[in-house]
Amino acid sequence: MNSAQPVVRLTNLTRSFEQGGERIDVLRGVNLSIGPGEIVALLGPSGSGKSTMLQAVGLLEGGFGGKIEIVGTDASALATDGRTKLRREHLGFVYQFHHLLPDFNAIENVVMPQLVAGKERGAAEERAREILSALGLAHRLTHRPSQLSGGEQQRVAVARALANRPHLVLADEPTGNLDEHTADKVFAEFLELVRGEGSAALVATHNERLAARMDRVVRLHEGVLE
């Protein structure tokens, strides 16, 4: 990767929804460029389009206008297979709710995306141990999600998102489901890990306090960033 190249560049991103015969223009021309290792907070009131924007950047949904470039590749021009490949190679996801596989323990949840990416099992397990330990979960490796606290579940979700060393982590209210004290702690660990790994991140949040800890804050207002 060219070191000066943005990990994501959005040019005139648009998205509208048709609901009950009415058209809502949620994104009306969003422009954003995130550099390597840069951690950006995406703020905006409820319903302003933060999740919609993360879905676009995550190449999870179609129906968007404009251009989405991920590490220099124009995703808008790719078919489903190409978008999946781009997503697997460059992106990691953390959601408000952990979405861990319930029948798999912590280490297996972190190993899984690495196997999907073609990594050999031994190396994947070593990486999972390393990253879970960095998040203080060395003593919880064989616990299943139901046997973990909410904070621990989110830490596993963070480890899973970073397992393949993504260039960009997309996080949608990653600590929104936790009490304030736990949220602060898990978020600090998340930031430290993302910084240590050198990944960039785009983090949607309502929380101004968390936003202030990131490198840059952008705000969605009436469909554009300000």
Ligand X SMILES: Nc1ncnc2c1ncn2[C@@H]1O[C@H](COP(=O)(O)OP(=O)(O)OP(=O)(O)O)[C@@H](O)[C@H]1O
Which span (50-58, 71-79, 105-113, 115-123) binds ligand X, by CB under 6 A?
50-58
- Residue 77 DSSP label: G
Tell me which H or E stretch contains 80: helix 80-90
Joined tokens for residue 197: 């790994």
DSSP three-state, residue 61: coil
Regarding 146 and contact with ligand X (CB under 6 A), the answer is no
Which span (33-41, 47-55, 133-141, 157-165) binds ligand X, by CB under 6 A?
47-55
Tell me which H or E stretch contains 14: strand 8-19
Regarding 47 and contact with ligand X (CB under 6 A), the answer is yes
Regarding 44 and contact with ligand X (CB under 6 A), the answer is yes
Q: Which residues from 10-29 bind ligand X, rule CB under 6 A?
A: 17, 19, 24, 26
Best CA proximity match to 199, nearest among 143, 159, 226: 159
Choose which of 2, 3, 46, 146 interacts with ligand X (CB under 6 A): 46
Question: Smallest distance from the beta carbon of 94 to ligand X, in angstroms?
Answer: 14
Q: Which one, 32 or 135, has the nearer CB to ligand X?
A: 32
| Total residues found in the chain within this entry | 226
Choose which of 38, 52, 145, 160 interacts with ligand X (CB under 6 A): 52
Measured between alpha carbons, how far is residue 165 from residues 35, 88, 206 in Å?
16, 10, 26
Question: Smallest distance from the beta carbon of 52 to ligand X, in angstroms?
Answer: 3
Cα–Cα dist 155/136, whole Å: 9
Positions in the binding site for ligand X (CB under 6 A) = 17, 19, 24, 26, 44, 46-52
